[in-house]
Structures are given as structure tokens and as C-alpha cells.
Structure 1
Amino acid sequence: MIFLFPSDYFNPKQVDEMYIEQAASLNKAGFNTAAICLESLGDNSPKISPPLPPNSEVVYRGWMLSPSDYELLVNAVESAGAFPFTSQAEYLLTHYLPNWYPAIADLTPATKFYTIDDDLESELRTLGWERFFIKDYVKSLKTSGGSIIEHPSEIRAIVAEMQKFRGTIEGGICVRLVEDFVVESEKRYFAVRGKLFAACEGEEIPDIVRECAARIYSKFFSVDAVERQDGVKRIVEIGDGQVSDLVGWSAERFAQLWGR
């Protein structure tokens, strides 16, 4: 198995600074790593250094990629005679909220999906919720006024802000019911080949996380769980493991997931 990271913009043969610690921990654990110039994905010969060993299994660890760019990444790996650990279908299953939501609808806040051309204000009025969390298929707004609104009339402004600060709306609009979470209780878990891991070795995995993982058919993904004010555990979101940050995790602990 080899881990493939984005390369440094000025030195394509070196892993980007943001991922150096992860790469070093994986190397220390006995794994090989390589760097790929993501800007070269559309080229006939994408820049990967060192070259991927033939027949190797490749785990990408890097920034989120659009479906088309991830397909290019898969093509680059396969053109090198290697195999992607996560297929295109698996990537989209856990990367796009509408793809994983139906499997765990009872474990996570109620969610509705729209296009940017829908009459969003009218749709939100129909829902009748007190507060709405707005995001696209992948991300929420981290700048300006944030992603939570109380009045349907605010929806157009927040969508415009998302387009301004993010450059695009990926997929469509997701409107989630805001539940009363204890924010500081949120934790990230990783699932690798059906086995769940917490940020601290020996830490108990909540039952809701185990139930969630049992319903998701992907070899590598993250699960974020949180506690509500009433003490009930809820799933916040699921993500493709390759592009999930190590929130609350050390690079050393992450390397342990892939025990040899």
C-alpha cells in the first residue's frame, strides 16, 4: 500500500507542507508515500514522484476533489499500473451528502435537497422549521455570517455568499434542520475496511457510530458524531476518508489505522 499526497506547488517532488507530518508518520510506520501534482491531473502523464510501484494499492490523502478531478486521479493511478483504494463510486458515496443521507436518515438531522434555481424561500417556509443549516453537497459557509439562518428570506443572501467565497455551489443546496448540539462534544471517527477507530486508542466507539458504519459501503470514510443537549447521540456528517481532516487526531494515531 502507498499513500499519495498533493505535491508542493514549487517542488512537485515533495509532499505539500500541510501533509508533511502525516507522510512522515506513515513512513515511520513502514508505508511508502508519493506526491502528485494535482495541477497535472489533466495531462497525458500526470506528475507523480516517486513513480507508483506496479500493482500497488493507492490511498489518496489530500484536498477535496470534484467528481471530475477524482476521476482524473483514478485514471492517473490506473495508468501507472496501480489500483485506487477508493473507487469513484465509493468516493462520491461518502463525499456527497445526498448519497449517504438516505442510509442514515434516522441518525442525523432531517435534510432536504434543492437546486439553486428552486424557489428556496418558499421551500423553506413550507418546511416550517425554526432554524435552517445551509450548505452545498460538500461544504457549508465558514465566513461572513455562517451557515445557520432563522428566516427563509435570508436564504438567497447566504447562497450568494457561498458562491462568492467558495466560487461555486457543488451539486446543489442542502437544508438541514438545526438540532441543539453540544458543540464541544463532537468527535471524528474513521472506518477502515469495516473497522472503526477513535482518536485515542482504547476509546469507546458510540453505538450510533457503529450503526452508521454498518450501513455505509465504503472501505475508508469518516464519521462525525455529537451529543444533543438532551443527551442523545447524533451523526453530524460522513465524509470520504481520503479528504477528511485529522480533526482531533494526531498524525501518529492516523498511521496506526493501517497496521501492518
Structure 2
Amino acid sequence: MRFLFPSDYFNPKKADAAYLEQVACMQDAGFATSVVSLELLASGSSKIIPVPYPDSKVVYRGWIISPSDYELLVGVVGSMGASLLTSKAEYLATHYLPNWYPLIADLTPETKFYSVDDDLENELNRLAWNGFFIKDYVKSLKTSVGSIINKPSEIGTVVSEMQKFRGSIEGGICVRRIEDFVPETERRYFVVSGKAFAALPDEEVPEIVEECAKRIGSQFFSVDVIERRDGTKRIVEIGDGQVSDIVGWTAERFAQLWVG
């Protein structure tokens, strides 16, 4: 197994500073590491340094990249005789909310999907929910007016601000029903080859995460769990593990997921 990190913009043979700790921990755990220039993917001149061994499996660990760039990354890795552990189809299966939502609809807040061109205010009025969490297929708006609204008339402002601050809307609009969550209870878990892991070695993995591991076929993904005020655990997010932050985790613990 080889772990592939984004290269430093000014030094293409070195990992980006944000990932140096993970690189060191992966190497300490006995894994090979390489870097790749994400900026050069579209030009077709991006190289993997050092080159992976033929027939080896590669796990990308880096920034979120678009589906088209991920396809280019699959091609770069394949041109060197290796293969990514996560295919493009698997990447999108956990990266895009509409792909994973139907598999765990009973474990996560109710969600509706729309096009940017839909009459969103009218659609929200029809839902008649007490609150709405707005995001595109991947991310929510964390600046300006934020992502949570109580009035359907506010949806236009959120969407325009998403386009302004994020540059584009990826995929479409997801409207999630607000539940009474306890913010400080949110935890991230990782699933590798069907096995779920918690941030601490002796921490119990919630049953709801184990259920996700059974239902979702991706080799490597993250699961974010939070508690409602009634004590019920709920899934608030699933993401491709390659581009998920290790929030709440140490780099050493993350590296140990792959040992043995």
C-alpha cells in the first residue's frame, strides 16, 4: 500500500506542509509515500514521485478534487502500472450526498434534492419544515449568511452567497431537515474495507457506524455522527476517506488503521 499526497507548490518532490505529519506517520508505520502535483493534472504533465511499484495499490490523501480531476488522477496512477484503491465511481459514491443518502435514509436527516434553476422558495414552502440546512452535493456555506435558514424566502440569498464565496454550485442543491442536535457530540469515524474505527483505540464504535459499514460498499470513507437531544445518534455526513480531514484524530492513530 502506498499513500499519495499533494505536492508542495514550490517543491514538487515534497508533500504540502498541511500533510507532512501524516506523511511521517505513514512512513513510521511502514508504508511507502509519494507526492503528486494537483495543479498539473489538467495539463497531463503531473508525475508521481517516487514512482509506485507495478501492481501496487495507492491511497490518495489530500484536498478535495473535482470528479474530472479525480479521473485524471486515476489515469496518472494507472499509467505507472499501479491503481487507486478507490475508483472514480467509489469516490463519487461517498463524495456526493445524493449517492449515499438513499442507502442510509433512515439514519440521517430527511433530505430533498433540487436543481439551482428550480423554484426553490416554492419548494421549501411545500415542505413546511421548521428549519432547513442548505448545501450543494459536497459542501455547505460556512461564511456570510451560513447554511441554516428558517424561512423559505431566505433560500435565494444562501444560494447566491454559495456561488459568490465558493465559485460554483457542485451538482445541485440539497435541503436537509433540521433536527435538534447537540453540537459538541459530533464525532468522526473511518471505515476501511468494511471495518469501522474510532479516534481512540479503546473507544467503542457506535452501532449506527457499524450499520453504515455494512450498507456502503466503498473501500474507504468517513462517517460523522452526532447526538440529538433525545439521545438518538444520527449520521450527519459521509465522505470519501481520501479527502476527509482527520478532525478529532491523531496522525499516528490514522496510520494505524492500515496496519495488519
- TM-score normalised over the length of structure 2: 0.99
Sequence identity of aligned pairs in percent?
69
Q: Specify the alignment match of 2:92 in structure 1.
A: 92
Q: Specify the alignment match of 1:161 in structure 2.
A: 161
Partner Cα distance (2:71, 2:251) in 1: 27
CA shift for structure 1 position 212: 1.6
Q: Specify the alignment match of 2:121 in structure 1.
A: 121
Partner Cα distance (1:200, 1:101) in 2: 27
Q: Which runs of 5+ in 1 are unaligned?
A: none
**Per-residue CA distance 1:28-75 (angstroms, 9 max, x = gap):** 001011110001112334222112221111000001111101000000
**Per-residue CA distance 1:146-195 (angstroms, 9 max, x = gap):** 10000000001000000111001000000000101011000000000111
| Contact 1:12 1:47 survives alignment (8 Å) | no
**Per-residue CA distance 1:212-242 (angstroms, 9 max, x = gap):** 2210011100000110001111011100000
Q: Specify the alignment match of 1:252 in structure 2.
A: 252
- Mapping of residues 29-178 of structure 1, within 5 Å: 29-178=29-178
Partner Cα distance (2:106, 2:12) in 1: 45
Partner Cα distance (2:76, 2:178) in 1: 40
Q: Specify the alignment match of 1:206 in structure 2.
A: 206
2:180 maps to amino acid: D
Secondary structure class of the residue paired with 1:101: helix
Secondary structure class of the residue paired with 1:214: helix
Partner Cα distance (1:100, 1:211) in 2: 13
Partner Cα distance (1:186, 1:53) in 2: 39
Runs of 4+ in 1 over 3 A off after TM superposition: none
CA RMSD of aligned residues (A): 0.7
The count of aligned residue pairs is 260
Partner Cα distance (2:13, 2:211) in 1: 41
Q: Which runs of 5+ in 2 are unaligned?
A: none
Q: Specify the alignment match of 1:236 in structure 2.
A: 236
2:8 maps to amino acid: D
Secondary structure class of the residue paired with 1:242: helix
Partner Cα distance (1:201, 1:16) in 2: 28
Partner Cα distance (1:4, 1:218) in 2: 18
**Per-residue CA distance 1:88-143 (angstroms, 9 max, x = gap):** 11000000000000000000000000010000000000000010000000000011
- TM-score normalised over the length of structure 1: 0.99
2:101 maps to amino acid: Y
2:17 maps to amino acid: E
Secondary structure class of the residue paired with 1:106: helix
